[in-house]
């Protein structure tokens, strides 16, 4: 999964280490860095959230909040960053 976080891969990695790694065993790579930043992506908002305002003529706007709770893992242009990752 992306960054060991998407699809709960970090939890699976830790469980696999605890279950199958012998005492003194090594895992490679043995480190990961996670950089998080907020972005502003109007195109993504229109496609994935505003879409629910009119789905084939029906108002599904109540689904927008649930859609916002879903994590978004994607590449973005540096100009979309609105915070620093440090």
What pLDDT score does 59 carry?
A: 86
pLDDT of residue 5: 66
**Mean pLDDT of residues grouped by 10 in the chain (86 residues)?**
67 90 90 77 82 86 81 78 75
Burial of 49 (0-12, 13-18, 19+ CB in 10 A): middle
Count of residues making up the chain: 86
Q: What is the pLDDT of residue 86?
A: 63
Q: What does the pLDDT read at residue 20?
A: 95
* Model pLDDT, residue 19: 95
CA-to-CA distance for 13 and 32, rounded, in angstroms?
12
Taking the mean position of all CA atoms in its chain, how far away is CA 86?
A: 18
Instruction: Name the helix (H) or strand (E) containing 42.
Output: helix 42-48
The pair of structure tokens assigned to 35 is 């950089």
């Amino acid at each position: 999964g992306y960054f060991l976080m998407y699809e709960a891969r970090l939890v699976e990695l830790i469980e696999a280490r605890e279950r199958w790694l012998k005492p003194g065993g090594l895992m490679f790579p043995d480190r990961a860095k996670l950089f998080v930043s907020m972005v502003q992506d109007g195109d993504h908002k229109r496609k994935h959230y505003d879409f629910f305002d009119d789905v084939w003529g029906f108002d599904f706007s109540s689904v927008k909040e649930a859609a916002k709770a879903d994590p978004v893992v994607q590449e973005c242009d540096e100009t979309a960053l609105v915070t620093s990752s440090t």
